[in-house]
Amino acid sequence: MKKECEIVQDLLFGYQDKTLHEASKELVEEHLKTCEDCRKIFSEMQKEEDTNENNEEIDYLKNINKKVKKKNKLLIIVGVILGIIVLLNIGIFAYYYSEAGKVQIYLNDDIKEEQIENIKNLITNIDENAKIKYFSKEDSLNQMKEKFKSNENLLSGYGGENNPLPAFLEVDTSIENAKKIETKMQSIEGVKKITGSFDSNPYLFMFSKVMVEM
């Protein structure tokens, strides 16, 4: 190998990286014009550099693609979770507004039929579309037995005149009207107690219903 070839080949990396001084750069360029062996070496170096650059670019694109896929998966997961939360909230509030307007008006044992009709008329004056259902003392006891189905024997001694549960009216109306009915019934003769869930938190209302069902 010529001495000049050795020198030029040592300078090829600097020439390729464009870090040579001007004099060294000119030396390399002049030598490459006349030396085929050094040109081949330099050509191979350029091909290898291009390959490395392409590989680096491919790796970079792969990393970008992985990050995008990971981000998209995260967005999908977050979207699904948010969708579930939204649907759950819609369900809770829909159930609350459909069920929380129900009012139970418990009646005294000695209440008269005329008084019950008067109470019904007062309710209808507040909400003419309200659904009113009467439950006798026996109905109340049967409902209680149904709730305590697994321990029904605990209530076996109750019935007839020995029934401690009151008759009641169940009113199905809107939450706003339920509040008006509750206020109106406070001073009505023959009414023992009024209960309802119209002032409860929708989430607590749903939780209480689930716990009762369990």
Residue 92 domain-assigned (yes or no): no
Mean pLDDT of 135-142: 89
- Taking the C-alpha atoms of residue 142 and residue 37, their distance in angstroms, rounded to an integer, is 106
- Taking the C-alpha atoms of residue 115 and residue 107, their distance in angstroms, rounded to an integer, is 10
Residue 172 domain-assigned (yes or no): yes
pLDDT in tens, 12-37: 787 787 888 888 888 878 888 888 88
Provide the CATH number for the domain around residue 111.
3.30.70.3040
pLDDT for 64: 74
With a CB cutoff of 8 Å and minimum separation 6, the contacts of 186 are: 194
pLDDT for 212: 56
pLDDT in tens, 65-77: 778 788 888 889 9
- Taking the C-alpha atoms of residue 73 and residue 201, their distance in angstroms, rounded to an integer, is 35
pLDDT band at 88 (very low <50, low <70, confident <90, very high): very high
Residue 137 domain-assigned (yes or no): yes
Residue 130 domain-assigned (yes or no): yes
197 vs 57, residue with greater confidence: 197
Is-contact 126 180, C-beta < 8 A? yes
- 15, containing H or E segment: helix 3-16
154 vs 23, residue with greater confidence: 23
Domain that holds residue 105: 101-196
